[in-house]
Amino acid sequence: MSIQFAPRLEEVMVVREYQEERDKAAVEAFESRCDFRQAGKPSLVTDLLGDPLCRVRHFPLHVMLVAEHVEKSEIVGGIRGCIKTISKGDHDYIKLAYVLGLRVSPPHRQLGIGTKLVQCLEEWCKKNGADYAYMATDSYNKASLNLFTLKCDYIKFRSLTVLVQPVHAHNKPLISGVVIKRLDPQLAISVYCKTLGGSEFFPEDIDVILHNKLTLGTFMAIPKSYLDHWDPKMTILPPSFAILSIWNTKEVFRFQVKGVSPLTYAECAGSRVLDTLMPCLRLPSVPNFFKQFGVYFLYGLHMRGYGSSRLMKSLCAHVHNMARNDVLCRAVVAEVGQRDPVREVMPHWRKFSWAEDIWCIKKLGTAKQDMNKTSGPHDWIKSSSSPSVIFVDPRDF
């Protein structure tokens, strides 16, 4: 794919596919230029660990496009995308493209490069059979929202909440009367298909995700009183249970907080010292976010039955303790629908979380194709009511 920009942009640009051997160093330099920080304001910097494709590599169908300044042979923009098959509800599956990682170097912004990158990626998505494309961004990112909704015809579709729980220096106590079982991947697939298979965005390749080396395990919490009736094959689900899986993002990329004041740095370090010296007090210490760190991302969160809130809280404590034993993991993160009951149960720090992660969506393809692929009298993206449970693919994080 190679598209030349109009001369009115005053610079000759071309959009093409990323070539690892040719572009890796140039893309790393470009990403570094994009990570500028405002003086006096903290920022979260992401290290892709030398792999520009890391955030899409775990999808079977993916691409990265770059915008190149031809005269200077310089990468000035980039975007990533992937295609997956997901349920739009009631086991009705479609091919969906996910658009992420759009960046343009500061000196080349406001020239239409971002819009052109989105358009070129959409063409790639349509050629590969995608019915829809969607992107996600924080509600405070007005520049990204305006680009996609005002210039690229996306519409705001779903609003989710990102919950962040820092990993403390002390263990969290497990709730008495609760037993936590680790499920093998095949058993986890069966449970998820029974419980979440009809939810929005549930991936058809859930087996690939659960067998991926980045999935550290799937865990189910049940009342201890049910242990005598435990069915190892899960032909019948327990009347009360909670379940989740853990995705190890630190093997893909790592974060680092930069730009905090010396006073803030000292306060955070002091909280960790007190927590280490007096773990019995269970102080809410702030981990060392000022060195590179990773997070555990929780997905497939679901609970049902009497006392299930208690079971989910026990699972979260179990994951926290796993993360505590991982030197580089300093936070546990989950993303859930705003009406999902799990949202009220998940432990998190409000100042590190964000209430609205906006998902914007766009229909791709011709009108004839749309008629053949749309089931029912109403199109999916015109449905105004958001379901309580939305499956968040850990590969999207």
Q: Which of 66, 74, 80, 97 is nearest to 3 (CA)?
A: 66
- Cα separations in angstroms, 161 against 8, 110, 256, 329: 41, 30, 22, 21
User: Which has more confidence, 61 or 378?
Assistant: 61
Close Cβ partners of 175 (under 8 Å, ≥ 6 residues apart): 310, 313, 314, 317
Q: Is the predicted pLDDT of residue 126 greater than 50, yes or no?
A: yes
Decide if pLDDT at 84 tops 90.
Answer: yes
Backbone φ and ψ for 289, nearest 5 degrees, come out as: -80, 0
Q: What DSSP line would sit under 162-196, residue for residue?
A: EEEEEPPSSPPPPPTTEEEEEEPHHHHHHHHHHHT
pLDDT of residue 387: 87
Contacts of 110 (CB under 8 A, 6+ apart): none
Instruction: Say whether pLDDT at 274 is over 70.
Output: yes
Least confident window among 36-45, 172-181, 188-197, 295-304: 36-45
Strands 93-104 and 132-138: parallel
Contact (CB, 8 A) for 328 and 186: no
Instruction: Please tell me whether residue 394 adopts helix, strand or coil conformation.
Output: helix
Neighbours of 94 (CB within 10 A): 18
Residue among 172, 43, 58, 137 nearest 335 (CA): 137
DSSP letters spanning 81-114 = EEEEEEESSTT-EEEEEEEEEEEE-GGGTTSSHH
Report field, pTM of the whole predicted structure over 0.85 = yes
Give the C-alpha separation, 96 to 276, whole Å: 46
Query: Could you report the per-residue pLDDT of 277-300, keeping only the tens digit for each?
Result: 888 888 889 999 999 999 999 999
Q: Is the pLDDT of residue 372 over 50?
A: no
Q: Which tokens go with 109? A: 């912004």
The pLDDT of residue 283 is 83
Does residue 111 contact residue 7 with C-beta atoms inside 8 Å?
no
- Domain borders along the chain are 3-160+359-396, 164-354
Q: Are 45 and 35 in contact (CB under 8 A)?
A: yes
Would the CATH topology of 3-160+359-396 be identical to that of 164-354? yes
CA 192 centroid distance within chain: 19
Confidence band for 130, pLDDT divided at 50, 70 and 90: very high
Fold classification of 164-354 (topology level): Aminopeptidase (3.40.630)
Tell me: domain 3-160+359-396, CATH 3.40.630.30, correct? yes
Q: Provide the pLDDT for residue 368.
A: 40
State yes or no: pLDDT of 213 exceeds 70. yes
Looking at per-residue pLDDT, the higher value among 294 and 109 belongs to 294
User: For 131, which DSSP code?
Assistant: S
Percent of the chain with pLDDT over 90: 74
All residues at 6 or more sequence positions from 147 whose CB lies less than 8 Å from its CB, including other chains:
102, 114, 115, 118
pLDDT > 70 in the chain, percent: 92
pLDDT grade, residue 150 (50/70/90)?
very high
SS3 label, residue 31: helix
Q: How confident is the model at residue 234 (pLDDT cuts 50, 70, 90)?
A: confident
The pLDDT of residue 373 is 47
